Amino acid sequence: MGIEGKVVAITGASSGIGRATAKLLAERGAFVVLGARREEALASIVDEIATAGGKAVHKTTDVRQRSDLDALVALAIEQGGRLDVIVNNAGIGPISRFDGLRVEDWDAMIDVNLRGTLYGIAAALPAFQRQQSGHIINIVSTAGLKILPTMGVYAATKNAVRTISEALRQEAGPNLRVTEISPGMISTDFASSITDPGVKSAIGERGSKLAIPPASIARGVVYSIEQPADVEVGSIVIRPTAQD
């Protein structure tokens, strides 16, 4: 029970939800193992955590590469002695209308949001099976709960992860916990990956009016982890009170 001493790997940890989660978990006494593509940003976060008295390491990680996820989990076990939790947070959202035919963006979302999560699960499961304990947390989205124009492929990837999470939960048995967390409009750099100028502008404007801080999601992650071992928080939805 609790956070103190747990070893937690986080993908997409260089900014937004991943960064906020890393900092909050480290404040609560976890050893955080951070993965993302941006080496400089990761190193900066590790320095911040260390300066505040926390414990963190990092490894450049591209979730599209299965070997990178294996290496991140291996680092956690090497440095922390075990892996208690993996937070599959890395995601992108270059959303657009279907008739925009931005097929490369569709492929990218499938590779990062869906395949990347599966690679994280595949990397963590052997360690969890050896330990007879573990916790997989998948960050999905409210975009999969209320389907809107331009969100089709993005929502599909997130709903695929939702399905995976539920099937894994049923397969997992008594020693593995599975949680999926659905953020609503959060103040992150989500819009930076959008290649359609009109959609990018609209999302940016909506976010400026509605978005809540990434720390709101980090608190949900902490809540799910700190429950007693026999309590599984299966699903959490966290969104602005003003969001439709």
**Ranges 53-67, 88-102, 142-156, 194-208: which has the least confidence:** 194-208
pLDDT, average across residues 81-96:
97
| pLDDT at residue 133 in the model | 96
Least confident residue range of 81-95, 192-206, 213-227:
192-206
pLDDT at 55 over 70: yes
Which residues are registered as beta bridge partners of 134? 176
Question: Looking at the predicted structure, is the pLDDT value of residue 90 above 80?
Answer: yes
Distance from C-alpha of 85 to C-alpha of 73, rounded to nearest angstrom = 10
Residue 1 above 80 pLDDT?
no
What is the average pLDDT across 138-161?
Answer: 96
Are residues 237 and 145 in contact, defined by beta-carbon separation less than 8 angstroms? yes
Token pair, residue 46, equals: 């590790």
Tell me the per-residue pLDDT of 98-123, one tens digit each, with 9 for 90 and over. 999 999 999 999 999 999 999 999 99
- Taking the model in full, what pTM does it have? 0.95
3-state secondary structure the chain: CCCCCCEEEECCCCCHHHHHHHHHHHHCCCEEEEEECCHHHHHHHHHHHHHCCCEEEEEECCCCCHHHHHHHHHHHHHHHCCCCEEEECCCCCCCCCHHHCCHHHHHHHHHHHHHHHHHHHHHHHHHHHHHCCEEEEEECCHHHCCCCCCCHHHHHHHHHHHHHHHHHHHHHCCCEEEEEEEECCECCCHHHHCCCHHHHHHHHHHHHHHCECCHHHHHHHHHHHCCCCCCCCCEEEECCCCCC
Min mean pLDDT across 94-103, 175-184, 197-206, 235-244 is at 197-206
pLDDT above 90 coverage of the chain, percent: 88
Set 154, 178, 184, 194: catalytic member: 154
C-alpha distances in angstroms, 157 versus 140, 154, 163, 191?
9, 5, 10, 17
What is the rounded average pLDDT of the residues 158-181? 97
Active site residue 154: yes
- Any residues with CB less than 8 A from the CB of 157 and at least 6 apart, and which? 109, 110, 113, 114
Q: Which fold has domain 7-182+213-234?
A: Rossmann fold (3.40.50)
From CA 39, how far away is CA 159, in angstroms rounded?
A: 30
The pLDDT assigned to 205 comes to 84
The domain spans of the chain are: 7-182+213-234
For the chain, what percent of residues have pLDDT higher than 70? 100
